[in-house]
Amino acid sequence: MILVGVLGVFAVSLGAFGAHKLADLVTAKSLSAFQTGIQYHFYHTLAILGTIQLFFNTHHSNLLKKAIWAFALGILLFSGSLYFLACSHLFSLQHLNKMIGPITPIGGLSFIIGWGILIYVGFTETKFKNE
């Protein structure tokens, strides 16, 4: 729950920053990338919250822990890299964009892994309850 709270605070704070300050500082393309990061950040913060609820009602707690960490890693890598790319010129760090850019799809893969774990747990939990 602490992780969800921290991620939620950051999502709201970064979203407010993007909506009220960043629009004056970056291009429309950069702002769009930042907003995509915010959306996925929020979605997966809520996914972590839902997964925590499942954690207490299933026999697959170890797998669900892995899903939670896959979602958290996805937020860090996917959303974090988009935040960086959108704001890099504000801190004269655009020379790092070629290194940070390839991290974005790794974060996306982490999200997919988290969702895949939930699919697996869903199938195996249903099978377990039917036996």
The first and second tokens of residue 122, run together, are: 């869903």
Instruction: Note the pLDDT of residue 130.
Output: 55
Instruction: Note the pLDDT of residue 126.
Output: 65
Contacts of 51 by beta carbon, 8 Å cutoff, 6+ apart: 64, 67, 68, 71, 114, 118
Residue span of the structural domain in which 30 resides: 2-130
The first and second tokens of residue 49, run together, are: 């919250």
* 10-residue stretch averages of pLDDT, the chain, 131 residues long: 95 95 93 97 96 81 93 98 95 94 97 96 72 55
Looking at the 3D structure of the chain, how many domains does it have? 1
